[in-house]
Structure 1
């Protein structure tokens, strides 16, 4: 049974798209231009739905996207794939083991974004695929900043929206807390499946002993050394990263249902100044059954400063069974004007 997507708005809402002859925030790296032109015409909602339906029916079977592959940093892993040739970009940050074409909605989303004059950028980070175990949120944040810097200098970017999936949500939240120069270019944030790695891994029998071992290794100055193979069957993982993902109040522990209101605000409160949307799957297989999902997403949205809430009934973790709802929610956010009274930092 298809279930309609329900969305409710809090105190924050996303920015819309406006174009100019030069980057709004080009003063970060070069002289600012104040000349502006009228925004491009928007595509009617029915056109967006038609594009989604067409791409889901055809493109998702082809598993193909046409675009440009480019390097944004010196590390061999630092390449990104861009579809569409526009000066506004949605940047997709995947979760653990993710790389290119990480979710089923990527292909139809790229088509819908192009119809609205936005590009989709899929970067590979050092942590992509099996690299997550030897990386960190800090390293990911540095590379996200490098990517946005590239888009500003080489693509005349007028602003980006960061779209995180799963653990990619933690990357984005951490990046926005760094106040790196290019974070000023972030016009909005979408968190799709912001769930707790710690609570999921707590359901695995080996986790308690591995947490104790990781803590012991860190105390002995061996945080960058690898854990035993049984700690993570998918990738080599350091004691630091394992502890970050699995331990209470580890660096990656941002969305757990047992965190207090103060702890959630401490971890998420800085997002209040950024338009934010939370897309939460109400049948997410990585959320333990004992967790009240409705209560959790409400608490997360409050801690984020009043983020927009989108609950996808029966949706799984990657929304592979609710592709159209996922794309529609993202497109609605991208197209929407900022809330009344919001101070546009590029005006």
Structure 2
């Protein structure tokens, strides 16, 4: 979810049914590398993901947004909690956007069902920046915590590899993480960016933004980058001068998907993703993309900057794809099956 849409988040929160979280004990700790055993057989299902979703819809009387799985802590901070459905050694990790938490998008429940049919687990992670924590966090902090989560899956769950699935600003977290070359990033087999759109371009449509960018820049120059801006800068959550500038300023740390960036600037920001199989899922009716932006041209440029990422354009899709759930799940499942273990190199060799 993009910055400034707290009303939508509140509506979603009030209408969503809470998930059923069943804790299960983790497997005994193993060494960092010993849990990686690649190359197991992979048998794609003959049915489409849409057929699988229909066949596994919740039965009458059950809760629409109910998932059964394991809730676990992967780090020492209170917010570092994740929820895993399916008990498999390959995981898709969902990384949400601003204000997101568990069950952030409507496609997660059917995606979990479809992934289980393919012998994959879905892991939904909470970071320190989840919910209203994004304003006092950073991409650097998010990346450190994401690395901790992958390390936990390797050491405690004997993970054979993960696929990262980012929604909205979660796409920026994934791009930044893959640039760090952290040790656990070698376990990332592929990345999916769903709704990689510009916070800066959206915020530029709001009247207070220009003044607040100037204030944030002044505070940063005075050594007060981690001080909070006035409430009017971001009414839905406290936000530091640094994070506001990162999200809203030209070439800020979060500015990765803006349509006015040159091809060279996009390659500078995204080019390292060419080392990882990538998919871009772009909603052609994304409400967070200003009307003046040519969406088709933008997604083409983003994929090119990433070295030829797989492109999926979902016609009439909104930002969270709540109106195109089955198309979203089908695209993700198709990509995971196509770019699956048989096509991945052993990162430990």
TM-score normalized by the length of structure 2: 0.87
Number of equivalent positions: 319
Task: Decide which moves more: 208-217 or 58-67.
Answer: 58-67
Give 1:195's match in structure 2, choosing from 189, 194, 197.
197
SS of 1:195's equivalent in the other structure is coil
C-alpha displacement at 1:301, in angstroms?
0.1
Report Cα offsets for 1:59-85 as digits up to 9, x if no partner. 996211100000000000000000000
Q: 1:108 corresponds to which residue?
A: 110
User: Which of 305, 308, 312 lines up with 1:306 in the alignment?
Assistant: 308
Task: Report the CA distance shift for 1:209/1:162 in structure 2 as closer, same or farther (over 3 A).
Answer: same
Q: Secondary structure at the match of 1:243?
A: helix
2:289 to 287, 293, 298: 287
Aligned to 1:7: none
Distance verdict in 2 for CA 1:38–1:31, change over 3 Å: closer
- 1:51 corresponds to which residue? 52
> Which secondary structure does the structure 1 equivalent of 2:237 belong to?
coil
Residue 318 of structure 2: aligned partner: 316
Task: Name the SS for the 1:62 alignment partner.
Answer: coil
CA displacement at 1:238 relative to structure 2: 0.2
Partner of 1:118: 120
Q: CA deviation at 1:309?
A: 0.2
CA change 1:220–1:33 in 2 (3 A) is: closer
Who is 2:147 aligned against? 145
Structure 1: stretches of 5+ with no match in the other structure: 1-25
Task: Summarize the Cα distance change of 1:293–1:333 in structure 2 as closer, same or farther, 3 Å threshold.
Answer: same
Q: How far apart, CA to CA, are the structure 2 residues paired with 1:78 and 1:38?
A: 30
Which segment is superposed worse, 60-69 or 70-79? 60-69
Change (3 A) 1:74 1:205: same
Which structure has the higher relative contact order (CA within 8 Å, separation 6+)? 1
Task: Indicate conservation of the 8 Å contact 1:223/1:238, yes or no.
Answer: yes
Q: Distance in 1 between matches of 2:39 and 2:234?
A: 52
After TM superposition, the structure 1 = structure 2 runs for residues 64-213 of structure 1, keeping only pairs within 5 Å, are: 64-213=66-215
Matched with 1:9 is: none
Cα distance in 1, alignment partners of residues 310 and 171 from structure 2: 15
Counterpart contact for 1:53–1:324, Cα < 8 Å: no
Q: Is the 8 A contact 1:56 1:324 kept in 2?
A: no
SS at match of 2:166: strand
Q: CA deviation at 1:243?
A: 0.2
Inter-partner Cα distance in structure 1 for 2:211 and 2:102: 34
Quick one: distance in 2 between partners of 1:186 and 1:279?
Answer: 18
Counterparts of 2:108 and 2:227 in 1: how far apart (Å)? 35
Q: What SS is found at the alignment partner of 2:76?
A: coil
Q: 1:249-260 maps to which residues of 2 (within 5 A)?
A: 249-260=251-262
Distance 2:39 2:194 in 1: 33
User: Among residues 211, 223, 233, which one is paired with 2:225 in the alignment?
Assistant: 223
Q: Is the Cα contact below 8 Å between 2:175 and 2:270 reproduced in 1?
A: yes
Deviation at 1:345, TM superposition (A): 3.0
Q: Are 1:278 and 1:307, in contact at CA under 8 Å, matched by a contact in 2? A: yes
Instruction: Give deviations 1:308-346, integer Å, cap 9, x for gaps.
Output: 000000000000000000000000011114699875535
Q: Secondary structure at the match of 2:122?
A: strand
Matched-pair contact (CA < 8 Å) for 1:282–1:311: yes
Q: CA RMSD in A?
A: 2.1
Between the aligned partners of 2:281 and 2:59, the Cα distance in structure 1 is 25
Cα displacement (A) at 1:44: 1.4
Q: Which residue of 2 aligns with 1:23?
A: none
- Cα shift at 1:53: 2.6
Q: Name the TM-score, length of structure 1 as normaliser.
A: 0.87
